[in-house]
Structure 1
Amino acid sequence: MNLQKSREQLRTALEKLRRICENKTMPQSMQITAATLDPALLDLPWETPLEEWPDEVLAALPRGISRHVVRFVNLSGRVIAVKEIGETVAYHEYQLLRDLNRLNAPSVQPTAVITGRTTPDGEELTPCLVTEHLKFSLPYRAVFSQLMRPETATRLIDSLAVLLVRLHLLGFYWGDVSLSNTLFRRDADAFSAYLVDAETGELHSALTPGQRNYDVEVARVNIIGELMDLQAGGLLEEDVDVITIGNRIEERYHQLWEELTAEETFYNGERWRVSAKIKRLNELGFDVGELTMSTDLDGTRIVLQPKVVDAGHHHRQIMRLTGLDVEERQARRMLNDLKTYRAINGLNHEADEIVAHRWLAEVFEPTIRAVPPHFRAKLEPAQIFHEILDHRWYLAQQQSRDVPLNEATQSYLENVLPSRPDEARYLELDPTGTFSLDD
């Protein structure tokens, strides 16, 4: 069925391309490189410079700082990002993003490269790279929409450190690490970071310490500059030590890299440390695919090193049990709630899959269904569920009693969610030029 649908889409696209070329509204020299072609791409005004595209095709989403012209565009019920960029770099980034997606790296998804663009008068226009907009994601300046606390900056930097380690484990050298080249999605009480700009990137079988350290140093310098820019714009308090905060990326990166890759030595009577090591890695959100262990000749000392480390431990668990595709910390919160549900309902001897099915049907889905349709664009369902659990805890502390989930849900929907911004839709600029978005 998918093959037949793809053939029909291709025929439709080719017929539309033929009609457009006959009407001479699009130069016949224009080329579109894409794994799958959405016919609606052909309707966009490629014969016009990107900065002059009409408002009716644009989506009102916040744009980060970029050296290129970037626009968000409504297309077939979704949003795409279009960036004007040189042809060689466009093809390089398109292929690199495809490779990263195949490796399940946290990055945006490439859609197409558009080349051979010309105006009706025959003037050549810059090629374009098209990527899918990452739903519910925010550029760092949107996170700092109002005067933010320093803790917000440290949370962003911590998430960027995790992203950089994940990419380095895959052999990806970034070359231009910065907050501006990253998108952030809320993940429980933290953020998850995604690579959005791979122009300078390279994919290797493994990185040298020099390549990794250079990426970290570039990140540190860029972050300090970006935080200074926020201070100059009044989005970060003037007395915040941005150099100390920027240096955090180096500290956090090396801590995490050491935990994930360093050898650990212990003695024969300390075998429990093997389990403790695996548990620490799981708590960081990583799975250990294989362990390399070696002992001394007398058998008194054991050297342990994780050989294959994959990110998304809790994400994969909740995906396997429920089919929910959520962020890592959201998944961990769900798994904890699932364990509580198991204990309260006396299901300790039931299979994980059975308990998860009941939890999904009796807890998660009814909670999300209670959210009015006009509020569902504010946050991802998993984030709403996490915040309801947090709200339930605060109510219980205030009232010194157990608060039923349905009561906490109604309180959250009445008193918290209405004031949250619509992160799935439009994040408009306010009259002062800052983004209207709460922390």
Structure 2
Amino acid sequence: MALQISATNPEHPALLLELPWQLPLEEWPDEVLVPLPRGISRHIVRYARAGDEVIAVKELAERPALREYELLRDLDRLGIPAVDPLAVVTGRTDAAGAPLESVLVTRHLRGSQPYRSMFETTMRPATMHRLMDALAVLLVRLHLAGFAWGDCSLSNTLFRRDAGAYAAYLVDAETGDLHPQLSAGQRDYDLDLARVNISGELLDLEASGALHPSVDPIEFGTEICARYQGLWQELTRTSVYPAGKYHYIERRIRRLNDLGFDVAEMQIEHATNGDTVTFVPKVVDAGHHQRQLLRLTGLDTEENQARRLLNDLESWMATQDDYDPGDPLGARPEVLAHRWVRDVFRPTVRAVPLDLRGSMDPAEIYHELLEHRWYMSERAQHDIGLDTAVEDYISTILPTARETLRPTVSD
């Protein structure tokens, strides 16, 4: 069988053809590989460069490779945080004509880390709680979309910093299945697997001395269940309100938005006696603030980053002379938002030297600068201004943090 490359983008096959497909993945030469941290996988995985792209290449049998490729494409269409599928390469043979396994090619998630590389220095329990939060949100999003993961674990997840918290991305969809809707039993099965897998992974870290002594692996494995159940309940519960108290419904929708979820539609039923109203929201994928920021500014960020940047944008707009929401002749929010990107966001980020940024993307850098300005203003008891905060951040914070910020490869 001749080499075949099935790709999502017509440009990718030409770039991928330059890679040494006639060699087993374990034997690929260093000149085509990119030295990035890898998580634990049942398959051989390598990072390589294809043109300007950094890609992850996973070697596995043809049928599961094609299946996982299609599942990742489905998740992408549903807006679920997962690695971006680029291609499947089949029909590989070595120099002697012997068949080699197929490979799945995905785009490297810039700024992300597998959980083991995050534990190279002892991680504080508070940071681990944030990881559990991120993983619980990811699992809820998958289940709301009808995706049964079948192998939820830290090893099958990548984490990116998101305005002081973390965002979790699915890496391995090989065991997953997509359904119109999941039953309670399917969700419980996924959750129980997550509990067992996470406890096992943390026990392994404990045995290697990489776990904080105050962390109980079994308790942290159970914590994912509690966090998942609390979030699922908030997102799917039916509410009964007194008739006429429609602002209660608005308050519920705002609370869901604050969690990063949108309400696509809602079912409202009045009791026969007219005394109560039953409200059932249909919650869709997270990203309420992401979409709002993208619409206003064109910036594509994580959810918490978007929330923080929107707050700063709104505060800045309120200081502009031509901004008056009640004046039809005033500047529209979209116009002001693009002015904020041009005059505030980009110059501020560019003030931070490239060699000091580590793995932080522009939105994370801006968030860090806003945090630093807030701390400095608290100490000074007045607003010290963004320019002063940037200067102090570059001279006092980044030099000491440099060792903990991993260099990344631009995509």
The residue aligned with 2:190 is 215
The residue aligned with 1:225 is 200
C-alpha deviation, 1:234, in angstroms: 1.8
The residue aligned with 2:318 is 343
The separation in 2 between residues aligned to 1:29 and 1:352, in whole angstroms, is 55
Of residues 167, 171, 177, the one that matches 1:202 is: 177
Structure 2 residue 367 is the aligned partner of structure 1 residue 386? yes
C-alpha deviation, 1:113, in angstroms: 1.3
Please say if residues 115 and 127 of structure 1, whose CA atoms lie closer than 8 Å, have aligned partners that are also in contact: yes
The residue aligned with 1:401 is 382
- RMSD over aligned Cα atoms: 1.6
Residue ranges of structure 1 left out of the alignment (5+ in a row): 1-27, 427-439
C-alpha deviations, 1:205-256, integer Å up to 9, x for none? 1111111111011011101111111112222123421211111111111111
The separation in 1 between residues aligned to 2:385 and 2:4, in whole angstroms, is 58
C-alpha deviation, 1:69, in angstroms: 0.6
C-alpha deviations, 1:169-189, integer Å up to 9, x for none? 111110000010011111001
The residue aligned with 2:396 is 415
The separation in 1 between residues aligned to 2:254 and 2:161, in whole angstroms, is 24
Of residues 341, 344, 360, the one that matches 1:360 is: 341
Please say if residues 296 and 302 of structure 1, whose CA atoms lie closer than 8 Å, have aligned partners that are also in contact: yes
The residue aligned with 1:424 is 408
Please say if residues 357 and 365 of structure 2, whose CA atoms lie closer than 8 Å, have aligned partners that are also in contact: no
The residue aligned with 2:57 is 82
SS at match of 2:17: helix
Counterpart residue identity of residue 390, structure 2 = T
Structure 2 residue 97 is the aligned partner of structure 1 residue 116? no
The residue aligned with 1:62 is 37
Counterpart residue identity of residue 121, structure 2 = Q
The residue aligned with 1:429 is none
The separation in 2 between residues aligned to 1:412 and 1:112, in whole angstroms, is 41
SS at match of 1:302: strand
The separation in 2 between residues aligned to 1:50 and 1:269, in whole angstroms, is 65
The separation in 2 between residues aligned to 1:137 and 1:423, in whole angstroms, is 11
The separation in 1 between residues aligned to 2:277 and 2:296, in whole angstroms, is 35
The residue aligned with 2:352 is 371
| Cα gap change, 1:310 to 1:117, in 2 (>3 Å) | closer
Counterpart residue identity of residue 217, structure 1 = D
The separation in 2 between residues aligned to 1:209 and 1:128, in whole angstroms, is 34
SS at match of 2:57: strand
The separation in 2 between residues aligned to 1:167 and 1:348, in whole angstroms, is 41
Q: TM-score, normalised by structure 2?
A: 0.93
Please say if residues 137 and 423 of structure 1, whose CA atoms lie closer than 8 Å, have aligned partners that are also in contact: no
C-alpha deviation, 1:66, in angstroms: 0.6
The separation in 2 between residues aligned to 1:333 and 1:289, in whole angstroms, is 23
Alignment of 1:17-416 (within 5 A): 29-35=2-8, 36=10, 37-345=12-320, 347-349=323-325, 350=330, 351-376=332-357, 378-416=359-397
The separation in 2 between residues aligned to 1:286 and 1:43, in whole angstroms, is 42
Identity of aligned residues (%): 53
Residue range with higher mean Cα deviation, 381-390 or 242-251: 242-251
The separation in 2 between residues aligned to 1:155 and 1:144, in whole angstroms, is 14
The separation in 1 between residues aligned to 2:292 and 2:136, in whole angstroms, is 23
Counterpart residue identity of residue 29, structure 1 = A
The separation in 2 between residues aligned to 1:378 and 1:178, in whole angstroms, is 23
Please say if residues 79 and 285 of structure 2, whose CA atoms lie closer than 8 Å, have aligned partners that are also in contact: no
Counterpart residue identity of residue 361, structure 1 = R
The separation in 2 between residues aligned to 1:54 and 1:310, in whole angstroms, is 41
Please say if residues 5 and 13 of structure 2, whose CA atoms lie closer than 8 Å, have aligned partners that are also in contact: no
Please say if residues 289 and 310 of structure 1, whose CA atoms lie closer than 8 Å, have aligned partners that are also in contact: no
SS at match of 2:110: coil
C-alpha deviation, 1:289, in angstroms: 1.6
Counterpart residue identity of residue 136, structure 2 = A
Please say if residues 145 and 285 of structure 2, whose CA atoms lie closer than 8 Å, have aligned partners that are also in contact: no
SS at match of 1:43: coil
Please say if residues 342 and 348 of structure 1, whose CA atoms lie closer than 8 Å, have aligned partners that are also in contact: no
Please say if residues 47 and 119 of structure 1, whose CA atoms lie closer than 8 Å, have aligned partners that are also in contact: yes
The separation in 2 between residues aligned to 1:40 and 1:264, in whole angstroms, is 53
Residue ranges of structure 2 left out of the alignment (5+ in a row): none
The separation in 2 between residues aligned to 1:110 and 1:423, in whole angstroms, is 24
Please say if residues 164 and 253 of structure 1, whose CA atoms lie closer than 8 Å, have aligned partners that are also in contact: yes
Please say if residues 83 and 129 of structure 1, whose CA atoms lie closer than 8 Å, have aligned partners that are also in contact: yes
Please say if residues 256 and 262 of structure 2, whose CA atoms lie closer than 8 Å, have aligned partners that are also in contact: yes
C-alpha deviation, 1:48, in angstroms: 1.2
SS at match of 2:274: coil
C-alpha deviation, 1:269, in angstroms: 4.4
The separation in 1 between residues aligned to 2:335 and 2:57, in whole angstroms, is 44
The separation in 1 between residues aligned to 2:284 and 2:87, in whole angstroms, is 32
| Cα gap change, 1:423 to 1:314, in 2 (>3 Å) | farther
C-alpha deviation, 1:39, in angstroms: 1.3
Please say if residues 148 and 186 of structure 2, whose CA atoms lie closer than 8 Å, have aligned partners that are also in contact: yes
The separation in 2 between residues aligned to 1:383 and 1:331, in whole angstroms, is 10
Q: TM-score, normalised by structure 1?
A: 0.87
The separation in 1 between residues aligned to 2:31 and 2:14, in whole angstroms, is 18
